[in-house]
Every structure is written in C-alpha cells, then in structure tokens.
Amino acid sequence: MGHRLAEATAGGRGVTLRYRDRSRILVRGPVTGRAYEFSPRQPTPSVDMRDADVLMRTGRFLRA
C-alpha cells in the first residue's frame, strides 16, 4: 500500500481522508482507478485529490 500512497501524493495532489465506519473497506478511486484501503488500523490514507472530491460526496468520508 505504501507505493500507492506515494503515487497518490506525488506532486502535492494528495488529500487525507478518514473513513467514518469501523469496518475495513477497499475503494477504487472513481477518477484515477487507484485502490485505497481504509480500516481501523489505517483510517486515514492519502488519496488523489481528484478521487477525494468524489469520495467526499458519498458522506462516508471526512477530511482528516
């Protein structure tokens, strides 16, 4: 997962999101197609800003 996080934050385009639920979830970025894993152990991965905008609209994520 670390490699994907590095890609997501390349060029300063990364946004840290917090998943609101307690279960593990794997989300495919709707714009970039990247996979992001959210879990109680890692609730705040950095995601590409273009994906973050769409994910925030679902109501399942908060900006950290």
| Residue 19 lies inside a defined structural domain of this protein | yes
How far, in Å, CA of 20 to CA of 10, rounded? Answer: 25
Q: What local confidence, expressed as pLDDT, does residue 64 receive?
A: 84
- Domain range for 46 is 2-59
Q: What local confidence, expressed as pLDDT, does residue 41 receive?
A: 81
Distance of CA 60 to the CA centre of its chain: 11
How far, in Å, CA of 8 to CA of 36, rounded? Answer: 10
Q: What local confidence, expressed as pLDDT, does residue 33 receive?
A: 95
Pull the structure tokens for residue 8: 């997501």
Q: The whole model's pTM is what?
A: 0.72
pLDDT, one tens digit per residue, over 2-46 is: 444 444 444 557 999 988 888 999 999 999 999 999 988 887 789
> How many separate domains does the chain show?
1
| Residue 35 lies inside a defined structural domain of this protein | yes
| Residue 10 lies inside a defined structural domain of this protein | yes
Residues in the chain: 64
| Residue 12 lies inside a defined structural domain of this protein | yes
| Residue 54 lies inside a defined structural domain of this protein | yes
| Residue 64 lies inside a defined structural domain of this protein | no
- From residue 64, alpha-carbon distances to 52, 54 in Å are 11, 16
| Residue 50 lies inside a defined structural domain of this protein | yes
Please report where in the chains the tokens 């997501």 appear, as a residue.
8
Q: What is the mean pLDDT of residues 37-58?
A: 89
